[in-house]
Structure formats: C-alpha cells, structure tokens
Amino acid sequence: MPVRGKSAKAKGERARTPARPASAPPPVESLFAGGPERFVERGAFARVLRRLGEPRRAVALPDPAHDYHAVWGRPLPRDLAALARALAAVEIESLGRWRPALSPAFALPARPRDNLVEQIIVADQRDRRGSAIAELLAGALALGDVRGGVRLLYGVYDDDGAAPVWRWQHAGRTLGGPVAGSLSDLAWSAAVAAARRERLLAPAVAQALLARVAPPPPAPRAPTAAAMAQSRWLYLLLRDGDAAAAVAAFAAARRPALGATTLARAPTSVPAALDALWRAYALADRAEILAAHIAACRTSRSRLVRDAARLADELARGRKQLGRLRDLRRLRDQLRAALGRRPAART
C-alpha cells in the first residue's frame, strides 16, 4: 500500500521548488566564434539575423533561389542557398550599409512560352537604375544594394567554393571589385556592423572581428570580370541602342573567334552563349555560323541559354524590334560598317 504522507510531502516539496529561469540567449560574440570562413553556409549568419531581425510568420524562399537550377543550368551554390534561407526567415531592412535582396529579374516567367531573356532585356531598358542586362551578360546575380549607388553581384561562374562579390556602379554603369572575397566575408562584415549599431557588440570587439576578414584578392581575369569586359559592347547595344559606343567597346576586348571554342562553351555558359549568338547574328558572314550556335544552345540545361537561342533565331528570320530597340537590322548594319564588314545579306 502506498504511503500517502510521504507522497504528499514530496508533492509539497516539488510545489515549493522555484521554476528554472528561461535560458538567456548566448552572447553575440559567440555567434562569430567560428570566423568568417563559411560563415553563411554553416548557419552562423542565420543565427545572427535572428538576433537582429523580427521572425517572419511564414518562410518562403525567393523565386530566384527556387528557380536557380532551371534558369542557370547549374546547382544552387550552398552559400547562396543558405543566404536565401536566412533572409527569408526574418524581417530585416539592412545590415550596416548593405540592403540584402536577391534579384527578382531571373524568376521564371508565369507563362512557359514567354522568353526569359527578352523579358529581362525589355524590363531593364525601362529601368533607369536597372542592372539585369549586366547581370545576364556577366553571369551574375544581384545580392542587394549598398548605400551610395552600388549593387552587389554574385558571380555565377566564379569558384563555387569562394565566389567573390562584385559591385555594379549605377552612375558609370561599370563592374568593379571584387569588394569581398566571398559571400561569407561580405555577410560577416555586414553582420558585425549591424550588431555594433544595435550595441550588441562593443566597439573594440567589433573592430577585432572586422580585422579577421582578409582583403579580397585582385581578380581581373575572373570569369565574371572577363565576361563583362567581353560583353560590354552588347550591354551598350541592348540597353541603349548605341552602335558607336558598342563598336568602341567591341574593339577594346579580346574574345575567341566564332567556331569550335564558342560552340563548345555556349551551351554551358550564359555569358558565352549571349556573346556568341549576338556576334554571329551581327557580324558573321555566313548564316550557318549562327545556325550552328543556335543548335548548340538549344541543348543547354539553362533556360536563359535556350531562350537566347530562340530569340536569336527570331532575329535571324527577320524580326526587327526588341523592346525599345525599334530596328535591330539598322543597328547591325551600323556595327558592320564601323568594323569594316560588308553589309549582311537580307533574309
């Protein structure tokens, strides 16, 4: 038979035992303990954001993250995937001077038959501060803006292990940088600055943490920088319809001749595909050169490359208008004349 008195005494003791206080969140310094390396991928950046921002009721990844593989034909990099999840989980306007946001321009069209490349070009022609055409031609994705008229870009074709972060200057419409050696370096510096602003880090601690970020190495021949230099002519042509400026930019950069090299690269690289297709359309003397590149691009896993091939085919068949560019044939003739080519045959 159970002893009631003992049981009652035990209940009384439990009743008098004070409740344990809720565990306090760890000090912010501990969230930076692992250092800048892989700061985003290992989830430390997301934990800092939860301390700085308000949680969202529902977490939904942005379309650019969902659509990345279909759009670019490449797996979503781990650091970019972790960044998308972290930003989707909290309400936060800015981190220091960085206002993070993934580019909405590269979301798949609602209607399957709409041309994604044409959609990007036409929308960007209307946007005075747009950078989508530059992102398309450089093979880069916008990560948000920095105060002072700078947009940050993630190089899709740079090293996935530590892809540098570039800057697009709206005023001069030029690509520069890199401004950070990796996305984790950028996020580390921005998170430290935001925590310092919120007085969660002492000034001396914040300064010591910022000093742990190595300066970005110069990368003038990195894939993103090289692609933008080679395609500067096409940017000026598609955005402004400026044939004279396009000719000067074309002459300023070296690029492989149309042929086996460009046919091999076009299906796997958006910048290479756009450059080859437009050079073949505007400057090739034989129609079969463009036809070969269109056929190669149609085999690509990237929606951007396949849609670029479809657009090039329409242009070759006689289409003249692309957004604000009313007469592409006239622009093509101006390019050819300035570069010493004979007039293109009419189709």
Query: What is the per-residue pLDDT for 21?
Result: 47
Domain residue ranges in the chain:
34-210, 223-338
Q: What is the pLDDT of residues 245-256, one digit of tens each?
A: 999 999 888 889
The string of DSSP letters for 185-251 reads HHHHHHHHHHHHHTTSS-HHHHHHHHTTSPPPPP-TTSHHHHHHHHHHHHHHHHHH--HHHHHHHHH
0.85 exceeded by pTM = yes
Q: What is the pLDDT of residues 50-66, one digit of tens each?
A: 999 888 877 788 888 88
> How many helical (H) and strand (E) elements, i.e. helices and strands, does the chain have?
17, 7
Residues forming a β-bridge with 98: 95, 146
CA distance 165 to 188: 13
Q: What angle separates helix 303-316 from helix 287-297, to the nearest 10 degrees?
A: 150
Contacts of 338 (CB under 8 A, 6+ apart): 243, 244, 247
CA distance 5 to 82: 58
Q: What angle separates helix 223-240 from helix 116-125, to the nearest 10 degrees?
A: 70
Find tokens 């993070």 and name the residue. 100
Name all contacts of 33-36 with Cβ < 8 Å and 24+ positions apart: 35/212, 36/184, 36/185, 36/188, 36/212, 36/213, 36/214
Query: What is the per-residue pLDDT for 93?
Result: 85
pLDDT in tens, the chain (347 residues): 333 444 444 444 444 544 444 455 667 888 899 899 999 999 999 999 999 988 887 778 888 888 999 999 999 999 999 999 999 999 888 898 999 999 889 999 989 899 999 999 999 999 988 999 999 999 999 999 998 889 999 999 987 556 899 999 988 899 998 999 999 999 999 999 999 999 999 999 999 999 999 988 776 678 999 999 999 999 999 999 999 999 999 988 888 999 999 999 999 999 999 999 999 999 998 999 999 999 999 999 999 999 999 999 999 999 999 999 999 999 998 998 998 777 665 55
Phi/psi region, residue 275 (left: phi>0; alpha: psi -120 to 50; beta: rest), is alpha
Other CB atoms within 10 A of residue 321 CB = 10
Q: Which 8-state DSSP code applies to residue 131? A: -
Query: What is the per-residue pLDDT for 64?
Result: 85
Single-letter amino acid code for the residue at 58: A
Three-point CA angle 72, 269, 119, nearest 5°: 50
Q: How far apart are the first and last CA of the chain?
A: 104
For the domain with range 34-210, which CATH number is right: 2.30.29, 3.90.1340, 3.40.1580, 3.30.230? 3.40.1580
